[in-house]
Structure 1
Amino acid sequence: MPSAVLFDRDGTLVEDVPYNGDPGRVRAMPAAREAVALLRGLGVPVAVVSNQSGVGRGLLTRLQVRAVADRVDALLGPLGLWAVCPHRPDEDCGCRKPAPGLVLAACAALGADPRRAVVIGDIGADLAAARAAGAGAVLVPTGATRSEEVGAARHTAPDLLAAVRLALALARDGASGPAPGGGGW
């Protein structure tokens, strides 16, 4: 089993609504509830790793981000840990994806080995953060995913449930940990 599965929020677990601070606008992605339930049933720790630059830009408050997280938890069941980067892209912090900070912080809080963790996201920054942390990654492309991001991904899945099943299969087959040449599988 993976030591943990870390999900991106917008475009992965829920529909991407830019700078959303309104819980009423939260809509789960297809198969998200089943994907999270599958992991819970197997005892795999789950968490969310999410860039929320709207806080740093003054477009959202931390309370609004928390209210959206609470709505996601209500729709999908408790996701446990929420690791959120509130910084603007120009702040050059170590937590904003594609930096590894959110992934490493989530793994540390969960007591999970990042080399056996998996990040599931919808854009290249999600996968780059996973690689930088030494974790595995699965891309679930959406309309916002650029073709070069799909081409660069080692593993893709058509939806969230397929991504979780792929992550479980790869972990079972021993594909976790850094790949030759660096980064996760």
Structure 2
Amino acid sequence: MSLPDAQTRPALFLDRDGVLNKDPGYVHRWEDFHWIPGARDAVAAFNRAGWWVFVVTNQSGVGRGYYGEDDVVALHARMSESLAEAGGHIDAFYYCPQHPDATVEAYRHPDPPDRKPNPGMILRALREHPVDVARSIMVGDKDADMEAARRAGIRGLKFPSDNLMDFLEKELVPA
């Protein structure tokens, strides 16, 4: 599944809303974005340890017409700026705007392959980066995140929404 003949390293796959930021619903503007305690520290720590760090996030608000893909991209850019201030970075953001009940026709799909619990976003990251699948983990706050991890062959950890660094500290080992 990973790129052949490349030095692999483990990946930390992170759901966005509810794991990296507080989730009041359909967060798409920076002024509504609030980091979960320990989130920036966790990303920076895994970066320093040599892990890939990917965000995999369902964004049905696009398909529902609440905001556009440009809003998602802009929010991810602001997240990246804020992470850089803390010494961290996301290696790639993956998001799925499709939804079975999308009001925007272009985003309506009966079973979007990238929408968790389907593993499409994780599988795309595995194709695009030399990932050590056996040592990788997916952190999410919903059963759909855990199912996507299972389907992709990645160990899933369900985050209880308190402090991400405290939650992941025992998982932090050098790549």
Provide the TM-score with structure 2 as the length reference.
0.81
**Cα distance between partner residues in 1 of 2:55 and 2:99:** 19
Please tell me the root mean square deviation across aligned C-alpha atoms, in Å.
2.1
Q: 2:168 aligns with which of 161, 164, 179?
A: 164
Is there any run of 5+ residues in structure 2 with no aligned partner, and where? 1-7, 102-108
User: Larger relative CO (CA 8 A, sep 6+): 1 or 2?
Assistant: 2
| Identical positions, percent | 36
* Corresponding residue pairs, total: 156
Alignment of 1:23-42 (within 5 A): 23-42=30-49
Letter in 2 for 1:167: E
Contact kept, 8 Å, 2:9 with 2:50, in 1: the verdict is no
Contact kept, 8 Å, 2:58 with 2:95, in 1: the verdict is yes
Is there any run of 5+ residues in structure 1 with no aligned partner, and where? 143-157, 173-185
- Confirm whether residue 5 of structure 1 aligns to residue 24 of structure 2: no
Q: 2:145 aligns with which of 126, 129, 132?
A: 126
**Cα distance between partner residues in 2 of 1:17 and 1:67:** 19
The structural deviation recorded for 1:112 is 1.0
The structural deviation recorded for 1:42 is 0.9
Letter in 2 for 1:119: M
Letter in 2 for 1:98: P
In the superposition, relative to structure 1, how do residues 17 and 69 fare at CA in structure 2: closer, same or farther (>3 Å)?
farther
Matched with 1:97 is 116
